[in-house]
Amino acid sequence: MPDTLSDRLRAYAEVAGQLDVDAVALVPGPNFTRALGQSFMSHERPFVLVIPADKPPAALLPNLELGSWQATGFDGAVFDWRDQTGYDAAFAELLSHLEITSLAVEGQVMRVFVHHALKAAQPDLRIIDAEREISALRMIKTPQDVTALRKAVQISERALTRTLKTIKLGQSEKEIEQTLVRMIFEEGADGLAFTPIVAAGDNSARPHAHARHDYKVKAGDALLFDFGAQADGFCADITRTVFLDHVSDEGRDVYDTVLRANLAGLAVTRAGVTAHDIDDTVTGVLEASPYADRIRTKTGHGLGREVHEAPYIVRGNQMPLPAGTVYTNEPGLYELGSFGVRIEDDVLVTEDGYETLTQFPKELMVISC
């Protein structure tokens, strides 16, 4: 990341120029945090930073944020609004000041009420979704970013190691999840990257399962952990699937298939490989197995300030991954009503290969409990 606020804002101005729009708008979220070096809340209060291609930036923000805002060093125009008077006038003043006719926004971050407020203030404003191009600036991680990611991963792995030692048959998924969460914080997390998935038995076949209060883990269960700590603004995202007490032949075979897919994806990873090629390789291994009908997801996604971000590792995405990209390699096989297996690494792309930030063992693990 460039070192000064004006360098960082200039990079977004260049995106506007490349997109041939008059300006880029950022709202609180990962790009906003990256640009300003500080995070802000939004909730019901609109907060917009507009960076024109060739004019100084301007911001619209809730008056209550002025103190925190000044600490960013931003020296462009500021249009603040107060709860008591509402924000319509501030949008009108902002757009009148900017004199723009087109605006690129982060479609996966900006919410419809802000979109509507912009259109209400200037009905002929052309708003385009440039999520991909705006967020692309976050794709190549700096050494400091990688340090933060590594810290988040290491906290997560220490917490998992400790949690696995506490598991007893008859515990609920929810109890195991609570142990995991407590240990994530004891190990030094600033927060959770997302609500952890702790899913046993049939629940492990739901890629985004919720831990259940009323399911007690039993011998032979697959037990899937998908979770991550947040540290210094960055997210870990790791999945491991273990078996309790014993594993069936089918469980072992499915596990081996998923692990081979994960390893095949690593083997083709180096700077310049496309997202398509990684997914094609990983998914190709799964498709060639007897379990092709259990495929439910793409291979993975970028990882950084957000737990899901560009690049999306999916067939058809011909984006070459530059060195410094961090992505998740997380093949899985899911048989609804039976069980699922997923193995997920956080992978740093390097010039001549890759480094897995996740170091937790991937050999099939059967827990005695």
Residues lying near a copy of itself in the complex (CB under 8 A): 38-41, 43-44, 63-68, 70, 83-84, 86, 105-113, 115-116, 127, 129, 131, 178, 181-182, 185-186, 188, 190-192, 194-195, 205-210, 279, 283, 296-298, 301, 307-308, 312, 314-316, 334, 336
| Cα–Cα distance measured from residue 242 to residue 225, given in angstroms and rounded to the nearest whole number | 8
Please report how close the Cβ of residue 113 comes to a copy of itself at its closest, in angstroms.
3
Please report how close the Cβ of residue 361 comes to a copy of itself at its closest, in angstroms.
26
C-beta of residue 201 within 8 angstroms of C-beta of residue 218: yes
Q: Is 98 left (phi over 0), alpha (psi -120 to 50) or beta?
A: alpha
Please report how close the Cβ of residue 210 comes to a copy of itself at its closest, in angstroms.
7
Cβ proximity to a copy of itself, 38 vs 169, nearer residue: 38
Could you tell me which residues come within 8 angstroms of residue 106 by beta carbon, excluding any fewer than 6 positions away? 25, 26, 27, 29, 31, 129, 130, 131, 134, 135
C-beta of residue 36 within 8 angstroms of C-beta of residue 28: no
Cβ proximity to a copy of itself, 10 vs 144, nearer residue: 144
Cβ proximity to a copy of itself, 41 vs 219, nearer residue: 41
Please report how close the Cβ of residue 207 comes to a copy of itself at its closest, in angstroms.
5
53-59 long-range contacts (CB < 8 A, ≥24 apart) are: 53/13, 53/14, 53/16, 53/17, 53/21, 53/22, 53/23, 54/13, 54/17, 55/98, 57/9, 57/13, 58/94, 58/97, 58/98
Cβ proximity to a copy of itself, 112 vs 249, nearer residue: 112
Cβ proximity to a copy of itself, 39 vs 359, nearer residue: 39
Cβ proximity to a copy of itself, 190 vs 253, nearer residue: 190
Please report how close the Cβ of residue 110 comes to a copy of itself at its closest, in angstroms.
5
Please report how close the Cβ of residue 219 comes to a copy of itself at its closest, in angstroms.
23
* Nearest Cα to Cα of residue 318 among 362, 356, 274: 274
CA distances from 329 to 36, 150, 165 (A): 30, 16, 26
Cβ proximity to a copy of itself, 10 vs 227, nearer residue: 227
φ, ψ of residue 60 in degrees (nearest 5): -115, 125
Please report how close the Cβ of residue 232 comes to a copy of itself at its closest, in angstroms.
10
